[in-house]
Amino acid sequence: RLAGRAHIAVADLADDPWIGPYPGNPCHDVVVLACEYAGFAPRLEHSSDDFHAVLALAGAGAGVALVPRSALRDTERGGVVVRPVEGVAPTRRVFAAVRRGAEGHPLIKPVLDALGAAAGPA
């Protein structure tokens, strides 16, 4: 019903069934907090920590979901309409911990560089 919009406000999804990660997954907290900031508690009807499954459920009409952009790369969307969140988008923080002095190791540095590039500007 909202697929024709360029952006969607989280508040406009208050009455929809939701698909989200299981409690304990940091992305679950992002979904719950985004909905709380929009003035409602999401009615989580389906849960999966696999974003391919989340997209498949959304494509089957089982509900709406917030999915990180990184989970959409190289992913078959099969009937799923993806729209950015209107206003301030929910965010999460990803940390990489390495032993002091190991950040320049030839097996670790490319991973840290890739994470930095994927995160974009700080």
The band of 102, judged by pLDDT with boundaries at 50, 70 and 90, is very high
**At CB < 8 A and 24+ separation, what contacts does 63-67 make?**
63/16, 63/17, 63/18, 63/19, 64/13, 64/16, 64/17, 64/18, 64/19, 65/18, 65/19, 65/20, 65/31, 66/10, 66/20, 66/27, 66/30, 66/31, 66/34, 66/90
Distance, in Å, from the CA atom of 59 to the CA atom of 40, rounded to the nearest integer, reads 24
pLDDT at residue 19 tops 70: yes
The band of 28, judged by pLDDT with boundaries at 50, 70 and 90, is very high
**Residue 50 identity:** D
Of the candidates 54, 62, 3, 63, the one whose C-alpha atom is nearest the C-alpha of residue 25 is 54
pLDDT at 112: 92
**Torsion sign (Cα): 98, 115, 69, 59:** negative
- The structure's pTM equals 0.74
Residues of the chain with CATH 3.40.190.10: 10-72
pLDDT at 87: 75
CATH tag, 10-72: 3.40.190.10
Q: Using one digit for the tens of pLDDT, what is the confidence trace for 55-87?
A: 989 989 999 999 887 777 766 666 788 888 887
pLDDT at residue 97 tops 70: yes
pLDDT at residue 121 tops 70: no
